[in-house]
Amino acid sequence: MASQPGSVSDEKRKVLIPIDDSEYSQYALEWYADNVHMKNDRVLLVHCPEYHHVIHSKSVPTDGSATSMMKEEEQKLKALFDKFQSLLEKHGIHEHADVKSVHGKPGEAIVKVCRDEGASMIITGCRGMGTLRRTLVGSTSDYVAHHSPVPVIVCRHKEHHERHLHGKSH
């Protein structure tokens, strides 16, 4: 059946997918590609770098190690972007995808980018933290789900979810 002009399949959706170096964000992208992707979608991968080694150090190094730490973080970021570029190419969606790096608290930054870019939906991974840890440190996916102006799909990694349900740890 051919799609009618103006039908959902002809509309351009902008799908925002937060990424980091975890298996959970990779799973979210794979899940999107396998289950939700439509040919006219624009995909925006968003990363919030964590320059935690430099920013959270108790003193400012004067021996050049701060520069070295920043370069190391930049190399990790490049490797991350290369990994996700390969995944986009594997699924044939690299021509309609962009990667954006933003600073700030991840949940807040993701929601801001969503608003600024006019995203249609957010697809995010979930680390599957336990209730206590999520309560104490917060969860990016919880924040996004509660503050997003658009629908959010939280992809739970099946194997991790099974371990969590049955009380088995990593």
- Residue 18: predicted pLDDT: 95
Establish if 5 belongs to a structural domain.
no
Domain count, the chain: 1
Establish if 133 belongs to a structural domain.
yes
Establish if 75 belongs to a structural domain.
yes
Establish if 122 belongs to a structural domain.
yes
Establish if 158 belongs to a structural domain.
yes
Q: Are 126 and 156 in contact (CB under 8 A)?
A: yes
Q: Any long-range contacts for 89-92 (C-beta under 8 Å, 24+ apart)?
A: 91/30, 91/33, 91/37
Establish if 66 belongs to a structural domain.
no
Residue 136, Cα to own-chain centre: how many angstroms? 21
- Please, what is the end-to-end C-alpha distance for the chain in angstroms? 47
Task: Please write the tens of the pLDDT for every residue from 47-61.
Answer: 987 655 445 555 555
Establish if 2 belongs to a structural domain.
no
Distance between CA 68 and CA 62 in Å, rounded?
11
Establish if 90 belongs to a structural domain.
yes
Answer whether residue 163 shows pLDDT above 90: no
Task: Please write the tens of the pLDDT for every residue from 73-93.
Answer: 888 889 999 999 999 999 999
Range of the domain at 111: 24-50+71-165
Please report, for the domain that includes residue 46, its CATH number.
Answer: 3.40.50.620
Q: Which residue has the tokens 């959706």?
A: 13
* Four-residue CA torsion sign, 34, 11, 122, 87: positive
- Residue 129: predicted pLDDT: 55
Task: Please write the tens of the pLDDT for every residue from 98-157.
Answer: 999 998 999 999 999 999 999 999 999 987 655 555 444 458 888 999 999 999 999 987
- 165 pLDDT tier (thresholds 50, 70, 90): very low
